[in-house]
Amino acid sequence: MPSTGENANPWRESRWPPLAALFVAALLEFALPDDLILGGGWIRWIIPALVVVLIVVAAASPAEESDRRRRLGITLAALVTVANAVAIGELVYGIVGAAGFEGRYLIVAALQVWFTNVIVFAVWFWEIDGGGPRHRALAAPGPHEYLFAQYTLPTPWRWRPVFWDYLYISFTNSVSFAPADVLPLRHRMKLLMAVQSLLSLMVILIVAARAVSILD
């Protein structure tokens, strides 16, 4: 359907992929051992419960309230980020403090926090770039945080990034500590990507340190 005005919104991205991704991240956090969860015990139920609340709010809210859903999503992403950073810190402490983590325990926990790191920062990028998914759908979106290669192509339609594009950015930033085919344009996005790379590097160093200790 053609646009009928400057801010017409003929295209709207589904929120279900990022919500499903957050739910997976919450399950990964929930499955962590008590040693890696700040407070342990009942604390592990908080993030999954909040994700369920977000899903219910997203399903029940009209499109006009997308800004409220966005704020809730960013808040939840911040909580998951903090919880995951704590888990990574506990893993580091366990290695440095010679806690005696078994190899299988360490590898499984490291994979959990690493994939959680990829997912939650993908949500960060998706919610922030261009003012969020709702504003990116407008004919006049907010300032771009990323320069995608598609923006420079003379295509006959206006290309818009979706959640899977941000998940790819997050994955490549966690693996190579730099985005593969996109440039961050603003300071806050560069800071977020630096934090993500640092957390990913810590997880990789944890596994490497354990491997070296086993070889020795």
Residue 204 forms part of a structural domain:
yes
- Name the β-bridge partners of 146: 184
What is the pLDDT, as a whole number, of residue 134?
77
Alpha-carbon gap, residue 209 to 72, rounded angstroms:
37
Residue 1 forms part of a structural domain:
no
Residue 61 forms part of a structural domain:
yes
Residue 205 forms part of a structural domain:
yes
Domain of residue 99 covers 16-215
97-140: pLDDT as tens digits? 655 667 777 888 889 999 999 999 999 999 989 888 877 776 55
**176 has a pLDDT exceeding 80:** yes
Q: In sequence order, which residues have a C-beta less than 8 Å from that of residue 114 and are 6 or more positions away?
A: 174, 200, 203
37-56: pLDDT as tens digits? 766 666 778 878 888 887 78
Name the token pair of 129: 């770039």
Residue 198 forms part of a structural domain:
yes
148-166: pLDDT as tens digits? 888 887 765 677 889 999 9
Residue 10 forms part of a structural domain:
no
Residue 159 forms part of a structural domain:
yes
**Residue count of the chain:** 216
Cβ pair 46, 61 in contact under 8 A: no
Residue 4 forms part of a structural domain:
no
What is the pLDDT, as a whole number, of residue 6?
41
Count of domains forming the chain: 1
What is the pLDDT, as a whole number, of residue 7?
45
**188 has a pLDDT exceeding 80:** yes
Question: Which one, of 125, 117, 124, lies nearest residue 199 by Cα?
Answer: 117
Mean pLDDT (the chain) is 80
Name the token pair of 156: 């006959």
CA dihedral 18, 28, 180, 191 (to 10 degrees): 80
Q: Could you tell me the end-to-end alpha-carbon distance of the chain, in angstroms, rounded to an integer?
A: 65
What is the pLDDT, as a whole number, of residue 215?
47
